[in-house]
Structure 1
Amino acid sequence: MLTNKEIQIRDPFIFPDHENGKYYMFGSTDKNIWGSGTGFDVYIGEDLAHWEGPFPVFRPKDNFFSNENYWAPEVHQYQGLFYMFATFFSEELQRRGTAILVSDSLTGPFEPHSDGIVTPKDWESLDGTLYIDEEGKPWMVFCHEWVQVEDGEVCAMPLSEDLKECAGEPQLLFCASEAPWATSFKHRARKSEHNYVTDGPFLYRASNGELLLLWASFVNNVYAQGIARSTTGKITGPWKHDDKPIYQDDGGHGMLFKTFDEELRLTLHSPNKTPLERPIFVKLEEEDGALHVVKE
């Protein structure tokens, strides 16, 4: 068994399996995610503190379209199967984007489902997540990367019912600079001094009906986790940002889930430096849509 302090992982994503009382933790598990991609693994545990694994759930075949930047796998159950949304660098397009894999089991193996990248072919994109709207229609919410647009964007794009391809044009939800807490930075490889990051969108419907969108950026070059709220309750917004991040201690790319005891948890990775990244679990309380960290 491994503890959280022994597991190097970025972008942790928890799938609670109520049938067998186990948590499945996916994430960016290559030792060096900035280079050649090995695949994705899963860790399995019962208490969010001790884990068995890692168990391989995706390993690319020789004809797979990507050889590097295997990032941020999320696993969602949809129409009886498990779909993995993950970021890859496309050798053909010479860009990053989100593709969709599928399996009939949480432990895989996951196989290609979409025909390569689903996000716009001429965009630098990453961190796609699945959202099912109030009419039962699937959307991908993802980031249009700052490396291309400087002021990183969060966008939503309708998907076909079978999740194989896009079913409409992407819609801009917001730019990173719209959040009062996010700060810009200068990058040595970019001319602009006003670069803003968007990372890791994740949707959560609060108990009061509010639709929340978690996303990550930086505060004075420190990784942080923020929250935006749809003023209409719909994925298309408009979106209003909380004044302050919910977590800003060099951690981000988070998601929310309920424990088997119905307690709300935020998981993210911290610190934001390879190879030191570890999964962090933060207990939250929700009051009329507002989320508060519970001191433990």
Structure 2
Amino acid sequence: MIKRKDLYIRDPFVVPVPNEKIYYMFGTTDINCWNDEKATGFDYYKSSDLENFEGPFIAFRPDKNFIWDKNFWAPEVHKYNDMYYMFATFFADGRNRGTQILVSEKISGPYRPWSIEPVTPKDWMCLDGTFYVDENGEPWMIFCHEWVQIYDGEICAVRLSKDLKTTIGNPITLFKASSANWTRSIKKIKDHECYVTDGPFIYRSEEGKLYMLWSSFIENNIYAVGISLSRTGKITGPWVHSENPIFAGDGGHGMIFKTFEGNLTLAVHTPNKRKEERPLFITLEKSVLNDTL
């Protein structure tokens, strides 16, 4: 067993499996995910109490035909039409960073490539695709158009085909990082202030309100999580933002899940320091989303 405080992972994504009474936790597990060394793949961990974990277990290892070999980041696993789909970020020399979709018949994998190459635009630098099915049953991916290309990072959305193999139509820009009052520029390049968008996650409350968690930076380049609300309850917005982040403790890339006891829980990694990241789980009061926006 590995204690939560000793477990290295960035971008934790927790999937409760009720019939097993087990939480599956995916995330960025390569220590070398930031440099030019070849990435290994993705692992996952299992826990019954979110404090003691078994693993790592192999979720994905690329074969020789896989086009990506670096920056294996932020895998999310979503059940859809009785299959399990992994949305993950990849990079390779000569290509822009992007999100590709993998698939498995079982939550435990192994996962294999599914989408027709990336489902983010090939000429964009992108990351952190997440999955959402709208009120009409249409699948969408929400993702980040990176600040490294456009200075002021954006959260975008694009419709997916029913089989999640490819996209339908062009991406829609939902908002820019600087549109939230709590974000701060991390640096200035060529007279451009640079604002980060990371880790969008969509959550619909029991009252039917549509929220988005996403990460950026506050003063002193501290990583934080903010929350936004769709005024229409639709993924296309318009979106309004909290005045302050809901987590500002040098951590981020948040997602929300419910424990087997019914507790609404925020998962983040902290600190946001390379090779020191650990998963953190924070119980949320049901009113916290309404009180924030």
- Calculate the TM-score normalised by the size of structure 1: 0.95
- The Cα of 1:53 is off from its aligned counterpart by 0.2
Q: Residues of 1 paired with 2:108 and 2:34: CA distance?
A: 25
Moved more, 191-200 or 149-158: 191-200
Q: Which 5+ residue runs of structure 2 have no aligned equivalent?
A: none
- The Cα of 1:290 is off from its aligned counterpart by 1.9
Q: Percent identity?
A: 55
Q: Which 5+ residue runs of structure 1 have no aligned equivalent?
A: none
- List per-residue Cα deviations over 1:152-179 (Å, max 9, x = no partner): 0000000000001001110010000000
- Over the aligned positions, Cα root-mean-square deviation in angstroms equals 1.2
Displacement over 3 Å in runs of 4+ = none
Q: Residues of 2 paired with 1:13 and 1:291: CA distance?
A: 25
Letter in 1 for 2:75: P
Q: Among 57, 60, 67, which residue is 2:59 paired with?
A: 57
- The Cα of 1:185 is off from its aligned counterpart by 2.0
Structure-2 change in CA distance of 1:229 and 1:129 (3 Å): same
Question: Quick check: 2:47–2:54 contact (8 Å CA) kept in 1?
Answer: yes
**1:128 aligns to 2:121 (yes or no):** no
- List per-residue Cα deviations over 1:33-74 (Å, max 9, x = no partner): 113210000100100000000001100001100010000000
* 1:73 corresponds to: 75
Letter in 1 for 2:269: H
Question: Quick check: 1:210–1:289 contact (8 Å CA) kept in 2?
Answer: no
The number of residues matched between the two structures is 289
Superposed, 1:95-110 pairs within 5 Å as 95-110=96-111
- The Cα of 1:288 is off from its aligned counterpart by 8.0
Question: Quick check: 1:207–1:288 contact (8 Å CA) kept in 2?
Answer: no
Q: Residues of 2 paired with 1:103 and 1:181: CA distance?
A: 38
Q: Residues of 2 paired with 1:45 and 1:185: CA distance?
A: 36
Q: Residues of 1 paired with 2:42 and 2:186: CA distance?
A: 31
* 1:210 corresponds to: 209
- The Cα of 1:109 is off from its aligned counterpart by 0.5
Q: Among 85, 88, 113, which residue is 1:86 paired with?
A: 88
Question: Quick check: 2:151–2:192 contact (8 Å CA) kept in 1?
Answer: no
SS in 1 for 2:193: coil
* 1:195 corresponds to: 194
* 1:235 corresponds to: 235
